[in-house]
């Protein structure tokens, strides 16, 4: 059964964007979801379908927003052992391994975190894309670390709102080529899809979405027999596609092992052979979602979870430390 939300524009709401107005009046709906509903012809203003989320409303406008019935899942379960850090009736915190995609997509509809979640527990939120039940945010396939999963629609909307308001704490660790200058700072740009390769993103200063990364250097590894690397911590204020990878590339300090935003491995004479083999064998980017902090959608309690570097990344760090002795 369809649910229709009826709203009237009052004096204080005059000349607002319609998506902002609706998400403020209906706090259970994230602004992202409101935008998607409008784009998909679910909104009528004065009985006329409106598909522009940025449309300005005026006093007396009558809004009817249709909330469609959630779609039934038709995804296959995948027998995969999930590393669950926390679980209650509203959400899960999963420590994702590198090499597995978050949700089904072209070329892989069965062996993903979503399929594994369906196998583990069929109770997931279903208000978003039918291929992404429970998924509030993403990690790239070859990035490891913590992700939040919503088990019901109320939790999904609440967590989505926290992401949209940039109040969720997200800290990553990355091993980059060279040294960042300054060693602690803030990168603030726009990020848009690359005009040369649609699978890549790039920094822009006029178009795209605002992207902010705060970073600090944790350790620098350098001597005459190894390339210079830095272990850095990145705290996100926004969560754009490939944000850390793009920002590090923009600074000239690509992430080790990043095949999309890659830096050619420079051959160095007399390099420690054991270290060289370890660096070459790393088959994914050295990027790990270390910490996530948020307000629980039901209890209102502040929660924070942490994850150590996985073995493949920890091995690289140990080899670098030994090479620098």
Q: List per-residue pLDDT tens for the chain, 325 residues long.
A: 568 999 999 999 999 999 999 988 887 777 778 888 999 899 999 999 999 999 999 999 999 999 887 665 578 899 999 999 999 999 999 999 999 999 887 778 889 999 999 999 778 888 766 678 899 999 999 999 999 999 998 999 899 989 988 999 999 999 999 999 999 999 999 999 998 888 899 999 888 999 999 999 999 999 887 889 999 999 999 999 999 999 999 999 999 999 899 766 556 666 778 888 888 889 999 999 999 999 999 999 999 999 999 999 999 999 999 888 8
Nearest to 98 by CA among 291, 310, 317: 310
pTM of the complete model: 0.81
CATH number of 84-164: 3.30.2350.10
> Which residues of the chain are in CATH 3.30.2350.10 domains?
84-164, 169-323
CB count in 10 Å sphere of residue 297: 19
Question: What confidence tens digit (pLDDT) does each residue in 46-86 have?
Answer: 999 999 999 999 999 999 999 887 665 578 899 999 999 99
CA-CA distance, 262 to 242, in Å (whole number)? Answer: 13
Question: What confidence tens digit (pLDDT) does each residue in 109-130 have?
Answer: 889 999 999 999 778 888 766 6
CATH number of 169-323: 3.30.2350.10
> Which residues of the chain are in CATH 3.10.290.10 domains?
3-67
pLDDT value at residue 24: 86
CA-CA distance, 111 to 100, in Å (whole number)? Answer: 7
> Six-digit token pair at 133?
């039940």
**Is 140 assigned a catalytic role?**
yes
pLDDT value at residue 266: 58
CA-CA distance, 136 to 29, in Å (whole number)? Answer: 13
CA-CA distance, 220 to 179, in Å (whole number)? Answer: 7
Nearest to 185 by CA among 250, 139, 129, 240: 250
Question: What confidence tens digit (pLDDT) does each residue in 151-176 have?
Answer: 998 999 899 989 988 999 999 999 99
pLDDT value at residue 107: 77
Phi, psi (5° rounding) for residue 158?
Answer: -65, -45
Q: Which residue has the tokens 């594994």?
A: 116
DSSP 198: T
Indicate which residue of 19, 61, 140, 312 is catalytic: 140
CA-CA distance, 294 to 159, in Å (whole number)? Answer: 8
Alpha-carbon dihedral angle through residues 221, 222, 223, 224, given to the nearest 10 degrees: 130
Nearest to 168 by CA among 176, 177, 157, 159: 159
Nearest to 73 by CA among 30, 163, 138, 135: 135
**Domain 3-67 is found in CATH 1.10.8.60:** no
Q: What is the CA radius of gyration of the chain?
A: 22
């Amino acid at each position: 059964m369809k649910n229709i939300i009826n709203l009237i524009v009052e004096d204080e709401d005059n000349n607002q964007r319609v998506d902002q107005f609706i998400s403020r009046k209906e706090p259970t709906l994230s602004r992202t979801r409101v935008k998607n509903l409008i784009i998909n012809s679910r909104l009528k203003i004065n009985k006329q379908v409106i598909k522009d989320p940025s449309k300005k409303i005026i006093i007396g406008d009558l809004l009817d927003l249709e909330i469609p019935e959630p779609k039934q899942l038709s995804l296959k379960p995948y027998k995969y052992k999930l590393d669950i850090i926390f679980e209650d009736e509203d959400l899960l915190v999963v420590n994702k391994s590198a090499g597995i995609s978050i949700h089904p997509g072209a070329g892989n509809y069965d062996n993903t975190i979503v399929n594994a979640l369906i196998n583990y527990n069929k109770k997931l939120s279903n208000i978003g894309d039918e291929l992404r039940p429970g998924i509030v945010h993403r990690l790239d396939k070859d990035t490891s670390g913590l992700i939040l999963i919503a088990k019901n629609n109320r939790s999904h909307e609440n967590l989505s709102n926290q992401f949209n308001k940039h109040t969720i704490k997200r800290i990553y660790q990355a091993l980059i080529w060279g040294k960042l200058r300054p060693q602690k700072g803030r990168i603030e740009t726009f990020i848009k899809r690359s005009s040369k390769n649609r699978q890549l993103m790039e920094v822009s200063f006029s178009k795209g979405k605002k992207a902010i990364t705060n970073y600090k250097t944790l350790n620098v590894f350098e001597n005459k027999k190894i390339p210079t690397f830095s272990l850095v911590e990145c705290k996100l204020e926004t969560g754009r596609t490939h944000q850390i990878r793009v920002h590090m590339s923009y600074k000239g300090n690509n992430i080790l092992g990043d095949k999309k935003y890659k830096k050619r491995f420079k051959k160095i004479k007399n390099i420690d052979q054991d270290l060289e083999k370890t660096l070459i064998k790393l088959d994914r980017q050295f990027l790990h979602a270390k910490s996530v902090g948020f307000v629980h959608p039901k209890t209102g309690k502040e929660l924070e979870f942490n994850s150590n570097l996985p073995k493949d990344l920890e091995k690289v760090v140990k080899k670098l430390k030994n090479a620098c002795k």
